[in-house]
Each structure stands twice: as structure tokens, then as C-alpha cells.
């Protein structure tokens, strides 16, 4: 980590932009387009600001437009959760059915099974995935040779950039029933491995895949936090006779504490989003009993059966609960003196 | 900062031999676990038929080299087409995404500019909820984009996180530069392209990489929006013919020219070659950008 990390990590966040209104740091002597001089103190009129800032507004247009069309419009489309939607009549023509779809969803055992699987996977991730990037970051940070460290970082970051299809394929090729280890076992007269299709091994397999893919990438934020720890603390502790482990316990871990708390809280807010592709790809191999999560449930509910409202209602419930969780998580973050993903107003 | 030390700091004791051996072993084991599958896959894809047959599957020890699998793949069949689709979508998509993101990030980075608060709020609000898979599917379908390559680009073109990363970076640049250029009559477009972007190569490269990797790896969008399998991107082909193991000979994965011929690579070698084709662009581009990861572009925004 270079100096840059430290400076940028302490840079003012976007939401804390200076509250100067109308000023924009522009020299006051620049003539207003209306002919007069823009006053330093008085806030310029709307048309003057429009004239001054129209280029900036124009620049935001493509991105804002894309978000409006592909994020906000479909969000409104969630009204079909209150309808018996059919594609021929569209959103405007389909009959309204009140909360019928919700009743159907909440009495559907497959929905609750998907909720259970999602929560189970999230819990296992929290316990078995979460600590690994922390440990790995401390390990990487202890590598003294900068060149070796860079090589190791390159290697452990890499799988993050592979698609889930690729990761699942690689796991199958190595650990699957027709994979490398099974092939070696078979050649030596043993039974092939079955973990890639064994429902009891599902949680173990998907967690291993997550660790393989993302544990290395997860170290980035912890490495930055480690680089920001004041090295003088280590030195004075060492001079005072604190050994390696005591320094880690009393200096390193407290240095990581804010990041750990923040990430834990964010994770809580994100608990329903365990992903789609990894589970979709392995649903046939492990069976939907263990591998159906909320997102795959929504997908199969609708795009396989053609019942759009049934999928939309599950999506809406997931979205609303997710929103509540994020808001709660942020409240918790603020309570613990952290920033969360947005600041207290 | 620990990385800046070439040697052990004077106050630190040397680790005991077992401790340092344990550390090295752990790091080596981690590296092997990541690299080994890639090694096996690449080696098998490059192995001649005899080697694959004698290994009875994946090849562990090199026994000659053959590019037959790649020749088969790129002889004009399904995989050739899928690679072209993925390359095209990645190139156009990354361009669209970067342009929209850079423009908006700059447009929202000037303190006190008109309406920047509500606009920024509209961007940040997208963090809090997803629109939902089904309504988005219906929208894309209503726009007539099913089976159009644009369905793989436009719905995911702007990533609010990347936008916020870039905006945070632009805001950290010295404001005076833009101010003095404005006095000289420079337009915002000129300031962005001539002054701001040249100072932001690192963050642009990183955000560009994130977008490019996203498009190259795109699977979910294609599953939803692309029914016509002649338009499949590479990830769907990878799934169909490798992960699900659909037979290659019966499915014209390889080109017509090869199907009639005699010298075709073994099925497994072709499958592994598809895997390699899917992972190679990512592994080649990413080291070029990697040095910027450590420059705090990501961390700065995460904390912001």
C-alpha cells in the first residue's frame, strides 16, 4: 500500500460535499450571462444557474436516463404484484387482485424453503467465509518482500474476475464425479467422489467456491486498513517487550476493528442477496431442496411457469425486506459510530 | 508502512524457523489451490489426443503439445460465434458504460452546481433496492429487446458504485484547475477531456476493467433475455457444452470444416479449450490494471 491509499481513504466522502450553493468555486468577477456581474453573496437565479451549469446537467443525462429507464421504471413495475398479470393485457389492462398474490406466496412451502436456504447460506457465509479475508490479509501483510507480495496478491485476486460458470466448471472438473480426483480414485480402484452432487455437501461446496473465488479479493479493504495502522505503535510495543502475538492482538486487530464492524453490518443488510448464478448453475446437480434460494425461486416461479405476478410478488417481498434490513444495518452502524453506506443527515 | 520496508524493521524479531516454515507453507498452499485447476485445464486443452487418452481424462503431466482443440474451436462453429458475440458486447458495453459513468461522475462532481444533490440522491438511492427481476424482464421485453444484444448492455450499463467511485476521485482533484480554465473560457467538456481525464487514468482503467469483466462474464442477463442460441455469449456456451457436458460432436460446436475431417481433438480437450478461452482475456487484462487497485481508488470510495 502506498501513501495514496491512506490519503484517499480519509478523503471527504461524496455526500459531504461543501454546502456552498451557487458558488461552485467560480471566480466572482466572471460576468453573468445576463450582463451584470454575478454577486458573490446573493444566490444566482435559476435561469442564471441553468445557463451556467447546463453542460454539467447534460453530462449527467445519459447515466440518469439509463437509471430512470432500467432501474426506476421497473421498480414501478412491481405493481404487477397486486395483479393477475398477463402479457397480452399488460400492466394497465391486467385485473387487480389485491393481496391475493401475497397470500399465495406466504402459503407456498417452496417459498419458505427458499427463504430458509437463503438464510442458511448467508449464515454459513458469515461464519466460515467472513473471517478468511481478514486472516489472509494479515498473512499477506506479513510478507516482507514487495515483489513476492505483489505476485501473491495477483494470484489471490484473480479468481474474483472469473465468472460463476467458470468457477463451477473448474470445481466440477477437479472435484466432480467425472473430475480429476474421481478419475484418479477410479484408476486405483476406489469409488469416485460424489460431493458435487451430494445434497448434504451442498453448503460445504458452495462455501468453498465462494472462498476460492472471493476470499482473496476480500483482503483488499483489510490490507488498506493494515497499511493505515501507525507503525510507531508496533515499534513502541516491541520496545516495551510485546511479542508478535501480543502486537497482533493489541494493535493489528484493534486497527481492523472499524472495517470489520462496518463490513459485518453491511453484510447483515445484504443477507437476502446470496447471489443467483452460483445456485442456478448447481440446482440440477444438488436438487432444489437445498439449492433453491430466493432469486432462483423468483426465476423459476415466473420464467419457467409463465406466472409473472407470482415471481414479482416474491421479488417485491425480497426487495422490501432487503430495504428494511439495509436501513436497520445502517442505523446499527451509526449507533456504533461508523458511517454505514450513507451518512446520518 | 510495512510494504515500504525492504527489510525487516529493526524492532521486529526474526520469526522462529517453524513459524516461518508454517507461513510459507500456508501461502504456497493457497497459491497452489488457486493455480492448480487452471494448470490442469490449460494443459489438457493443449494436449494431443494420445495424452488425454492415456491419462484417462484430465492431463497432469505434459506429454507433447497440440493446438488441435483451438483449431477446432475457431474453425467457425458455435464457439467462434459466441466469442465474437462476447467480444462485441464487451467492447461496446464497456464503451457505453464508461462514457455514461465518466460524464455523470464529472457532471455531479462540481460543488454547488445546479440540482446536483437530487441527481446524486437518485443515483445513490439505487443502492438501496433492486428493481426486481420480473418487472425488469417485462420492461426489456416491452422495449422489444429480447434477443437483442442491447439487452446485454443497457440494463446494466450504469453501475452506481462505479459512478460514485469516479465522482469521489474527481472531487479529490484540485478544483483550482477547472476554475482557472473556466476563466479562460474553456467549456466543461474541454475541462473534462483535456484536464480531468488525463489525471484520472488509474481510476478510469479500474472502472473500465470492472465493466469489461462484467460484460465478458455476463450470464444472468443472457439467460433472461437471449432465447436464440445463435446469439449466445460465451458464458452460455461454456455452461451448455462444458458445465452441462452436452456432447460436442452432435452439436456443431466445432465448424463444419472439421466435422467432415478426420483430425479432430478429443472432446475433453475441446471442452477445456472453451474454459481457457473464457478465462484468458480476464487473466491478461487484469494484471495491467492491478497496480491501480492498491492506489486506493476502490478503498477511497468504499469508505466514502
The chain A residue lying nearest B225, using CA atoms, is: A303
Instruction: Report d(CA B34, CA B74) in Å as an integer.
Output: 28
Give residue B302's pLDDT band: very low, low, confident or very high (50, 70, 90): very low
Percent of chain A with pLDDT over 90: 48
Query: What tens digit of pLDDT does each residue of A224-275 get?
Result: 888 888 888 888 888 888 888 888 899 999 889 888 888 888 888 889 989 8
**What residues of A are in contact with residue B89 (Cβ under 8 Å)?**
none
**What pLDDT shows up at residue B304?**
37
Between CA A282 and CA A168 the distance in angstroms is 8
Q: Of the candidates B191, B173, B195, which has an alpha carbon nearest to the alpha carbon of residue B182?
A: B191
Whole-number mean pLDDT of chain A?
84
Q: Give yes or no for residue B262 having a pLDDT over 80.
A: no
Distance from CA of B118 to the nearest CA of A (A): 11
Pairwise pLDDT comparison (A90 vs B247), residue with the higher score: A90
Do residue A155 and residue B34 have CB atoms under 8 angstroms apart? yes
pLDDT at A1: 31
Residue of B nearest to A315 (CA): B132
A165–B290: do the CB atoms touch at under 8 Å?
Answer: no
pLDDT at B264: 66
Neighbouring CB atoms inside 10 A of A230's CB total 11
Q: So where are chain B's domains?
A: 78-244+278-303
What percentage of chain B exceeds 90 in pLDDT? 49
Instruction: Residue A327: list chain B partners with CB under 8 A.
Output: 128
pLDDT reading at A345 higher than 90: no
Interacting residues of A188 by C-beta distance below 8 A, sequence separation 6+: none
Question: Is the CB of B287 less than 8 angstroms away from the CB of A71?
Answer: no
Give the per-residue pLDDT at A334.
82
Q: How far apart are CA A172 and CA B258, in angstroms?
A: 28
Q: Which residues on neighbouring strands pair with residue A31, listed in sequence order?
A: A37
In chain A the domains, ranked by start, together with CATH numbers, are 18-82 (no CATH), 100-335 (1.10.3720.10)
pLDDT at A93: 87
B115 forms beta bridges with: none
Indicate yes or no: CB of A166 within 8 angstroms of CB of B275.
yes
Q: In percent, how much of chain A has pLDDT > 70?
A: 86
- The pLDDT value recorded for residue A34 is 38
Residues in chain A with CB shorter than 8 Å from the CB of B279 are: 162, 166
The span from the CA of B181 to the CA of B187, in Å, is: 8
Contacts of A15 in chain B (CB under 8 A): 120, 124, 304
Cell triple for residue B18? 517453524
Q: What average pLDDT does range A108-117 have in this prediction?
A: 95
Distances (CA, A) of B30 to A131, B22, B24, B93, B284: 16, 12, 10, 34, 21
- Cβ of B138 and A341 within 8 Å? no
Average pLDDT rounded to a whole number, residues A148-168: 92
What per-residue confidence (pLDDT) applies to B123? 93
Highest mean pLDDT among A237-241, B68-72, B138-142: B138-142
Higher per-residue pLDDT: B29 or A2? B29
Q: What is the pLDDT of residues A295-341, one digit of tens each?
A: 999 999 887 788 899 999 999 999 999 999 988 988 888 888 766 65
Interface A-B, measured as beta-carbon pairs within 8 A, has a size of 357
Torsion of CA B1, B2, B3, B9, to 10 degrees: 120
Nearest CA in chain B to A339: B303
Q: Is the CB of A60 less than 8 angstroms away from the CB of B189?
A: no
Contact B278 A227 (CB under 8 A): no
On chain A, the residues whose CB falls within 8 A of the CB of B217 are: 161-166
CA distance A182 to chain B (A): 10
Place of cell 490479509: A137
Q: What is the DSSP string of A259-301?
A: HHHHHHHHHHHTTT---SHHHHHHHHHH-HHHH--HHHHHHII
Please indicate whether, in this complex, the C-beta atoms of A78 and B132 are within 8 angstroms of each other: yes
pLDDT digits (tens, 9 = 90+) for A165-182: 999 999 999 998 888 998
Angle at B142 between CA B138 and CA B145, to 5 degrees: 95
Most confident of the ranges A28-37, A285-294, B92-101, B108-117: B92-101
Cα distance between the two ends of chain B? 22
pLDDT in tens, B197-253: 998 988 899 899 999 999 999 999 999 999 998 999 999 999 988 888 776 554 454
Nearest by CB: A323 against B128, B135, B172: B128
pLDDT given at position A39 = 44
**Cβ contacts (< 8 Å) between B8 and chain A: which residues?**
144
- pLDDT attached to residue A37: 47
**In B149-231, which ranges are continuous DSSP H helix?**
160-172, 175-183, 188-190, 201-217, 220-225
CA–CA separation, A77 and B1 (whole Å): 51
Residues 6+ apart with CB under 8 A from B65: B46, B47, B48
Q: What percent of chain B has pLDDT over 70?
A: 88
Instruction: Please say whether the beta carbons of A310 and A253 come within 8 A.
Output: no
Mean pLDDT confidence for B137-146: 94
- Which of the residue ranges A272-286, B128-142, B219-233, B252-266 would you say has the lowest mean pLDDT? B252-266
pLDDT band for position B7 (cuts 50, 70, 90): low
Asked if the model's pLDDT at residue B11 lies above 90, the reply is no
Q: Where are the beta strands (DSSP E) in A38-99?
A: none
Whole-angstrom Cα distance, residue B229 to residue B278? Answer: 18
CB A201 within 8 A of CB A195: yes
Averaged pLDDT, A98-105: 92
| Non-local CB neighbours of B149 within 8 Å, separated by 6+ positions | B85, B88, B89, B92, B231
Q: In 10 A of CB B303, how many CB atoms? A: 20
Contact A55 B272 (CB under 8 A): no
Q: Cell for A232?
A: 510507531
Give residue for cell 417452496. Answer: A110
Q: Is B154 left (phi over 0), alpha (psi -120 to 50) or beta?
A: alpha
Optimal mutation site among B8, B53, B124, B135, interface A, most CBs of chain A within 10 A: B135
**Distance between CA A306 and CA A327 in Å, rounded?**
33
* ipTM over cut 0.90: no
Q: Angle at CA A234, nearest 5°, toward A229 and A237?
A: 140
In tens, the pLDDT along A138-151 reads: 999 888 888 898 88
pLDDT tens readout for residues A24-59: 554 444 444 434 444 445 678 889 888 889 999 999
The pLDDT value given to residue A262: 82
Which chain B positions have a beta carbon within 8 Å of A316's beta carbon? Answer: 132
Provide the pLDDT for residue B162: 92
Full DSSP string of A120-187: HHHHHIIIIITHHHHHHHHHHHT---HHHHHHHHHHHHGGGGS-HHHHHHHHHHHHSTTSHHHHHHHH
Instruction: Confirm or reject CATH 1.10.3720.10 for domain B78-244+278-303, answering yes or no.
Output: yes
Amino acid at each position: 500500500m502506498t501513501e495514496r491509499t491512506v490519503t484517499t481513504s480519509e478523503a471527504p466522502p461524496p455526500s459531504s460535499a461543501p454546502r456552498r450553493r451557487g458558488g461552485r468555486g467560480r471566480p466572482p468577477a466572471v460576468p453573468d450571462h445576463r450582463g451584470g456581474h454575478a454577486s458573490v453573496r446573493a444566490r444566482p437565479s435559476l435561469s442564471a444557474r441553468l445557463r451556467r451549469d447546463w453542460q454539467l446537467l447534460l453530462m449527467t443525462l445519459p447515466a440518469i436516463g439509463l437509471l430512470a429507464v432500467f432501474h426506476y421504471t421497473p421498480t414501478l413495475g412491481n405493481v404487477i404484484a397486486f395483479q393477475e398479470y398477463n402479457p397480452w393485457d399488460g400492466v394497465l389492462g391486467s385485473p387487480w387482485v389485491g393481496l391475493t398474490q401475497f397470500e399465495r406466496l406466504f402459503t407456498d412451502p417452496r417459498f419458505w424453503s427458499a427463504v430458509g436456504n437463503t438464510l442458511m447460506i448467508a449464515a454459513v457465509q458469515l461464519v466460515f467465509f467472513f473471517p478468511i479475508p481478514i486472516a489472509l490479509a494479515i498473512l499477506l501483510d506479513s510478507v516482507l518482500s514487495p515483489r513476492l507480495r505483489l505476485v501473491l496478491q495477483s494470484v489471490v485476486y484473480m479468481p474474483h474476475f472469473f465468472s460463476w460458470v467458470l468457477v463451477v466448471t473448474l470445481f466440477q472438473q477437479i472435484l466432480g464425479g467425472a473430475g480429476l480426483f474421481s478419475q484418479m480414485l477410479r484408476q486405483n480402484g476406489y469409488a469416485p467422489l460424489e460431493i458435487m452432487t451430494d445434497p448434504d455437501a451442498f453448503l460445504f461446496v458452495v462455501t468453498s467456491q465462494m472462498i476460492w473465488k472471493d476470499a482473496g479479493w476480500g483482503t483488499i479493504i483489510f490490507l488498506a486498513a493494515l497499511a493505515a495502522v501507525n507503525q510507531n505503535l508496533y515499534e513502541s510495543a516491541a520496545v516495551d517487550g510485546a511479542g508478535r502475538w501480543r502486537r497482533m492482538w493489541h494493535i493489528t486487530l484493534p486497527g481492523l476493528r472499524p472495517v470489520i464492524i462496518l463490513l459485518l453490518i453491511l453484510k447483515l443488510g445484504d443477507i437476502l442477496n446470496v447471489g443467483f448464478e452460483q445456485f442456478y448453475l448447481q440446482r440440477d446437480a444438488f436438487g432444489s431442496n437445498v439449492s433453491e434460494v430466493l432469486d432462483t425461486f423468483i426465476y423459476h416461479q415466473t420464467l419457467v411457469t409463465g406466472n409473472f405476478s407470482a415471481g414479482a410478488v416474491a421479488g417485491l417481498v425480497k426487495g422490501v425486506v432487503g430495504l428494511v434490513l439495509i436501513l436497520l444495518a445502517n442505523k446499527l452502524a451509526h449507533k456504533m459510530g461508523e458511517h454505514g453506506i450513507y451518512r446520518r443527515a | 508502512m510495512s510494504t515500504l520496508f525492504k527489510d525487516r524493521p529493526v524492532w521486529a524479531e526474526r520469526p522462529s524457523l517453524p513459524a516461518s516454515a508454517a507461513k510459507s507453507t500456508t501461502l504456497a498452499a493457497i497459491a497452489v489451490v488457486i493455480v492448480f485447476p487452471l494448470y490442469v485445464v490449460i494443459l489438457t486443452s493443449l494436449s494431443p489426443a494420445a495424452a488425454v487418452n492415456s491419462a484417462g481424462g484430465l492431463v497432469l503431466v505434459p506429454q507433447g503439445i497440440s493446438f488441435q482443440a483451438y483449431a477446432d474451436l475457431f474453425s467457425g462453429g458455435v464457439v467462434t460465434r459466441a466469442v465474437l458475440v462476447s467480444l462485441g458486447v464487451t467492447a461496446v458495453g464497456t464503451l457505453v458504460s464508461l462514457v455514461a459513468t465518466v460524464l455523470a461522475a464529472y457532471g455531479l462532481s462540481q460543488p454547488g452546481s445546479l440540482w446536483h444533490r437530487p441527481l446524486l440522491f437518485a443515483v445513490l438511492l439505487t443502492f438501496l433496492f433492486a428493481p426486481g427481476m420480473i418487472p425488469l424482464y417485462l420492461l426489456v421485453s416491452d422495449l422489444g429487446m429480447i434477443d437483442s444484444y442491447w439487452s446485454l448492455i443497457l440494463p446494466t450499463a450504469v453501475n452506481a458504485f462505479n459512478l460514485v467511485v469516479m465522482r469521489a476521485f474527481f472531487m479529490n482533484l484540485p478544483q483550482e484547475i477547472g476554475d482557472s480554465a473556466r476563466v479562460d473560457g474553456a467549456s466543461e467538456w474541454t475541462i473534462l477531456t483535456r484536464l480531468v481525464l488525463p489525471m484520472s487514468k488509474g481510476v478510469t482503467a479500474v472502472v473500465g476493467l470492472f465493466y469489461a469483466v462484467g460484460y465478458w462474464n455476463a450470464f444472468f442477463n443472457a439467460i433472461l433475455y437471449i432465447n436464440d442460441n445463435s446469439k449466445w455469449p460465451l458464458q452460455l456456451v461454456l455452461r451448455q457444452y462444458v458445465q452441462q457436458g452436452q456432447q460436442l460432436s452432435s452439436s456443431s460446436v466445432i465448424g463444419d470444416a472439421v466435422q467432415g475431417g478426420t483430425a479432430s481433438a478429443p472432446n475433453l480437450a475441446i471442452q477445456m479449450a472453451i474454459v481457457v478461452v473464457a478465462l484468458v482475456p480476464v487473466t491478461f487484462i487484469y494484471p495491467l490494471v492491478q497496480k491501480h487497485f492498491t492506489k486506493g481508488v476502490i478503498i477511497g470510495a468504499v469508505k466514502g
